[in-house]
């Protein structure tokens, strides 16, 4: 008997995946967690029935959310990842030798535990000596750490339910205060095809707080529409014009120095969302 997973994150549209087996499914304190093995994308993490990451395409998301801000900042030493319990963003952050400390702030410890168990390719850097894991509320953590981090990555689930507070102007103001004087923040900010109003609202909220705010896109097959946005807020350094000629070379599958610049060139309908 064929088993199919149907993801219905977007109203009136769905993605379906043929699965080999369910590796784990449990109700945590915060959400329904499942890791399944699929034929097309390998092992896949789902939270509340929504695909978070897969073995086959995770590198796109994690490389772009980490390397755009870290290569923009001239000397990132302390990095905070809010959410991202799968560990993929931490893995990419720690490819940068300037990073002395990377804090993972994840509210659901079961995400960390099960990803270490079933997604070791993604979570492999969580045991790195430079990584500090804090299980707790990311909003509270940011509020309690002023002027501390060079880069903050908001690697959250979608802006519904428990993650809703991680999207919006009040949280971005807290992030601004948590950053050092030339700090940079980045967040995943949904799809302009299905949720243009969310993309526009989040961009405007960040733009009201940060002197430099830029939107860029990446292609992620397992996210609705496959066309995903990220928003960068920076106090001083422009990610679109930064000089990358002397930056180090790191092992990547998606990110390149040329792509760093090119990803900020937006289709008109996306560019219109930033006006």
Whether 2 is catalytic: no
Q: Cα 163–191–20 angle (5° rounding)?
A: 80
Residue 272 is labelled as binding a ligand: no
- Residue in this structure with the two tokens 């008997």, named with its chain if needed: 1
Residue 238 is labelled as binding a ligand: no
Residue 155 is labelled as binding a ligand: yes
* Dihedral (CA of 92, 97, 98, 101) sign: positive
- Residue in this structure with the two tokens 């088993």, named with its chain if needed: 3
Residue 86 is labelled as binding a ligand: yes
Residue (of 234, 222, 264) closest to 54 by Cα position: 222
Q: For the purposes of burial, counting CB atoms within 10 Å of the CB of 75, is it exposed (0-12), middle (13-18) or buried (19 or more)?
A: exposed
State the angle between helix axes of 196-207 and 169-178 in degrees (0 to 180), rounded to the nearest 10: 40
Which of the 8 DSSP states describes residue 55?
T
Partners of 184 in beta bridges: 151, 234
**CA of 81: how far to CAs of 36, 57, 87, 106, in Å?**
25, 20, 9, 8
The residue annotated as part of the active site, out of 57, 108, 150, 155, is: 155
Residue 247 is labelled as binding a ligand: no
Taking the C-alpha atoms of residue 178 and residue 200, their distance in angstroms, rounded to an integer, is 24
Residue 128 is labelled as binding a ligand: no
- Look up residue 61 and give its two tokens: 């998301």
CB atoms within 10 A of CB 72: 25
Residue (of 241, 102, 231) closest to 172 by Cα position: 231
Taking the C-alpha atoms of residue 154 and residue 146, their distance in angstroms, rounded to an integer, is 16
Please check whether residue 33 is in contact with residue 26, taking contact to mean a CB–CB distance below 8 angstroms: yes
Residue 52 is labelled as binding a ligand: no
Residue 138 is labelled as binding a ligand: yes
Residue 32 is labelled as binding a ligand: no
Binding residues for S-methyl-5'-thioadenosine: 31, 106, 137-138
- Positions annotated as catalytic residues are 155
Binding residues for spermidine: 62, 86, 155-158
Binding residues: 31, 62, 86, 106, 137-138, 155-158
């Amino acid at each position: 008997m064929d088993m199919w997973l149907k993801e219905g994150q977007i109203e009136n549209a769905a993605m379906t995946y043929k699965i080999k087996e369910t590796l784990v499914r449990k109700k945590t304190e915060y959400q329904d967690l499942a890791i399944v093995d699929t034929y097309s994308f390998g092992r896949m993490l789902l939270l509340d029935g929504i695909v978070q990451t897969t073995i086959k395409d995770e590198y796109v998301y994690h490389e772009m959310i980490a390397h755009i801000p870290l290569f923009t900042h001239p000397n990132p030493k302390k990095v905070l990842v809010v959410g991202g319990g799968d560990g993929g963003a931490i893995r990419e952050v720690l490819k940068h030798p300037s990073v002395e400390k990377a804090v993972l702030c994840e509210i659901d410890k079961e995400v960390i535990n099960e990803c270490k168990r079933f997604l070791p390719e993604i979570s492999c850097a969580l045991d790195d000596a430079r990584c500090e894991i804090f299980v707790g509320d990311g909003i509270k953590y940011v509020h309690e750490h002023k002027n501390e981090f060079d880069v903050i990555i908001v690697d959250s689930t979608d802006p519904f339910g428990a993650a809703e507070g991680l999207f919006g102007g009040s949280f971005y103001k807290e992030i601004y205060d948590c950053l050092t004087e030339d700090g940079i923040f980045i967040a995943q900010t949904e799809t302009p095809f299905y949720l243009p109003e969310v993309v526009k609202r989040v961009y405007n909220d960040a733009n009201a707080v940060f002197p430099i705010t830029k939107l860029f896109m990446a292609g992620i097959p397992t996210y609705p529409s496959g066309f995903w946005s990220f928003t960068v807020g920076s106090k001083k350094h422009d990610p679109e014009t930064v000089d990358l000629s002397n930056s180090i070379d790191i092992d990547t599958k998606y990110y390149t120095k040329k792509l760093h610049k090119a990803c900020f060139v937006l289709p008109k309908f996306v560019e219109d969302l930033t006006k």
